Structure 1
């Protein structure tokens, strides 16, 4: 088929020359002009470019008879003519100030950024466009969402923005439907007999004020048959459209109700306000829902559960104070594909007042083999996803929470119900006693004193005034949160401690047991070792000195060398007989092949934990997950793979500058090495630097090997 050349170049717009050149290249290949002789290609170029190109072309100097001359040489001469000297600073300034205009869609904005970056000489053009795109979109919510994704690339950013734009357009159309409902809504103050205010239920009809109700309570008054008073609807007249309640339309296709479903009778083509199937002519009030209870600061952490709806997986906060199940609009926009929203005029109230509800969708989830149908409301607020009281009851979550609630909470005076741990010393051990406390920085003094008092009230430590043979120094450590952790330097004591050498499961042992598992729960023991009581007769060995006096541990301290074996043995004793449970110190993994089995395994394990008095950290526990992180690995039904956070930490490390740094990096790489059998051969140029008497010389071979190893780590496979 014949192809037409591009339109002549506008020589008044030299900045468009590069775009025109690309169009000509397309034409040259499509028309097979690139197969012709050099002179034919040049003539075609000049002809397509326009009359002014003839004059410019005559000024060029080159050997037209040279057989090796190419069209590319002529094009470069034109480029030099159009862009004699690029002002990169100005080009980048224009690029970096380009934001999405009001009303401008994503596609034109992306094209504009590509065009503006042509002559900017960016080292990484896609990265520069991505950054400008993310910062320049005029929707702040979208911009913030994209900025929070550390591994975002340009194509993903554009894809998400397109989807966001499409969903917002759909929501706008759905709001038009809701507006149509409100237009036809009748609002009258109405009291039933006896003066009591009626509590209405229909969300597609209104009254002078909303009536507050809880989900599941569908009460409301009805008129006696034949005795109901009929009211003319506000905004409706004989000239109104019988389908949408608005004025008459010139064409049926202009009616906003066309193709819309009435959620009263379920038929299409009209709004509920105009539905002729309604049995009650009196109009009820809007329905008001309460979104949940207010949690004061310092309250126990909330319960969460993950629910799957087809391809969607949502983490819900279990809130028995919520009337309805809700998710935020920002979360709704991430669902692919987005469920279609059903218009509603339900009013949502939270702790901060009224919250806008943009609609709801119906979906099904599976709990223990039972299908549960839920109405999920979407609110225009940055709130957590809440699972309503009614949904919790239907799923049996409330009863389960009540039975295992005692397992969660802070440490108290009551330790785990197990034999006290004993510290056994070697024969002829030489006691070590420090008489002077180490200095504590002045800003930490108050925090250290408060933490010692807290540990004393929790029954972890006890003050002592009598002489002791052993006394170790205290080491306060500042946490990221600003709080202080009290540690004790027990190195001298550990030299004299006998360890019981209890077997600790290896990673291979653990992962072998997980083959075929599909459902996982992970439990975390609060302050692990501190829950194990310490034998009173040997507890004095743990005495430590502080600026505020001497203390000794009543619970198993973290710094004692025999503590890991003692704690592992205690945990396995508590959960003895639970075949689908793995203990690795303070982490407990429960795994099953199905939801039904997992319920049984979880209930049985939790029962033993409650009976033993073991406290769990609710914030670090995860229940009924199809994929879970355990011991630095991600585990699911397909197998195991290394944790992405650990891989990223290695990839982001710079090249080592000495043997010490190299040893540390190689140690980190050994962790995911099981997934890459050929990693050692790739790293051979690097590991050679660790050989004795080998001079440090980090050169090109080492750099290439290190980069190749990082590439392999990013593509580490899942091991079945």
Structure 2
């Protein structure tokens, strides 16, 4: 018997002439095939630990998360994240639970000259446009609508493409669907020991624009005119459209405290066991709605 655990690889197995019988969990030696020995399986707890250690580290809890959890409790959370890793990917499909419509008081197309961009910004815009086309967010078009582009710097030195839809918004029929009041959300919070926040990945881009309205989203660049296939940021009724979808998302959730404000969700539970159950239900609904979350 070895005093410490040792990992024996294929080279050792070949040199020792070991024959493995995995279906029956036994092994023997080439020169003594009639004498078999039992393969001893690892305890289930160790198997689970190996699974935890093999989880994609981008899904596992970060150092600033779960700071009040014991190591075993963190492992349980990590296993749940691993189980639902598909919702943290990049699903190319829009949600089937809502569509963005654009109704105008005046059907005369609005066209605004493009804002000037220095050469370095043009290259950054070109790269972002290519990504958005590749991800099926926008497409080239010959729309008579043309809103100007504004580039906003991000913390990671890249840029965010924003469209100045102020003139279009001024003739957009408002959607009066209510957004939650922050004070009402805060008042609805019940005492809880566990809380998780879920941020949907570019939430608006997970919603389709009604095909007949897509030309109205047209925007002008040095490389041509494009229109949105997914709901753009900066449109007057985009928050109402998204909140309507998320209220459908929350509908029917029984015995689960989940606060929803646009693409931010907060799940509150009395203890870890209940919290993991609640998160499982929420993650299943994220899958059902074909949404994706940041990790």
Same fold (TM over 0.5): yes
**What corresponds to 1:303 in structure 2?**
60
Once the 2 structures are TM-superposed, how far is the Cα of residue 445 of structure 1 from its aligned partner? 2.0
Map 1:130-145; keep pairs closer than 5 Å.
Answer: none
**What corresponds to 1:470 in structure 2?**
145
SS at 1:472's partner residue?
coil
**What corresponds to 2:241 in structure 1?**
566
Once the 2 structures are TM-superposed, how far is the Cα of residue 458 of structure 1 from its aligned partner? 0.7
- Point out where structure 2 has 5 or more consecutive residues left out of the alignment: 9-49
Once the 2 structures are TM-superposed, how far is the Cα of residue 199 of structure 1 from its aligned partner? 5.2
Once the 2 structures are TM-superposed, how far is the Cα of residue 407 of structure 1 from its aligned partner? 0.8
Relative to structure 1, the CA distance from residue 521 to residue 538 in structure 2 (aligned partners, 3 Å threshold; closer, same or farther) is same
Q: Stretches of 4+ moved more than 6 A in 1?
A: 292-295
Asked whether 1:419 is paired with 2:98, we answer: yes
Once the 2 structures are TM-superposed, how far is the Cα of residue 396 of structure 1 from its aligned partner? 7.8
Asked whether 1:480 is paired with 2:283, we answer: no
Q: Contact 2:61 / 2:78 at 8 angstroms: preserved in 1?
A: no
Alignment match of 1:432 (pick from 110, 132, 136): 110
Asked whether 1:553 is paired with 2:233, we answer: no
Relative to structure 1, the CA distance from residue 307 to residue 459 in structure 2 (aligned partners, 3 Å threshold; closer, same or farther) is closer
Over the aligned positions, Cα root-mean-square deviation in angstroms equals: 2.9
CA distance in 2, matches of 1:471, 1:480: 28
**What corresponds to 1:583 in structure 2?**
260
SS at 2:59's partner residue?
coil
Q: How many residue pairs end up in the alignment? A: 250
Asked whether 1:508 is paired with 2:183, we answer: yes
Q: Contact 2:99 / 2:241 at 8 angstroms: preserved in 1?
A: no
TM-score of the aligned structures, taking structure 1 as reference length: 0.32
TM-score of the aligned structures, taking structure 2 as reference length: 0.76
Q: Which has the higher contact order (CA 8 A, sep 6+)?
A: 2
CA distance in 1, matches of 2:189, 2:114: 49
> Deviation digits for residues 607-640 of structure 1, max 9, x if unmatched?
111111100001xxxxxxxxxxxxxxxxxxxxxx
Map 1:185-264; keep pairs closer than 5 Å.
Answer: 200-201=3-4, 211-212=6-7
Asked whether 1:407 is paired with 2:84, we answer: no
SS at 1:520's partner residue?
strand
**What corresponds to 2:28 in structure 1?**
none
Relative to structure 1, the CA distance from residue 473 to residue 598 in structure 2 (aligned partners, 3 Å threshold; closer, same or farther) is same
Relative to structure 1, the CA distance from residue 522 to residue 294 in structure 2 (aligned partners, 3 Å threshold; closer, same or farther) is closer
**What corresponds to 2:36 in structure 1?**
none
Map 1:523-542; keep pairs closer than 5 Å.
Answer: 523-542=198-217
**What corresponds to 1:442 in structure 2?**
119
- Point out where structure 1 has 5 or more consecutive residues left out of the alignment: 1-197, 203-210, 214-289, 315-363, 368-386, 619-720
| Structure with greater strand share of residues | 2
**What corresponds to 1:460 in structure 2?**
137
**What corresponds to 2:287 in structure 1?**
610
CA distance in 1, matches of 2:194, 2:216: 44
Q: Larger Cα Rg: Structure 1 or Structure 2?
A: 1
**What corresponds to 2:25 in structure 1?**
none
Asked whether 1:496 is paired with 2:253, we answer: no
SS at 2:204's partner residue?
helix
CA distance in 2, matches of 1:602, 1:590: 7
Relative to structure 1, the CA distance from residue 480 to residue 453 in structure 2 (aligned partners, 3 Å threshold; closer, same or farther) is same
> Deviation digits for residues 60-86 of structure 1, max 9, x if unmatched?
xxxxxxxxxxxxxxxxxxxxxxxxxxx
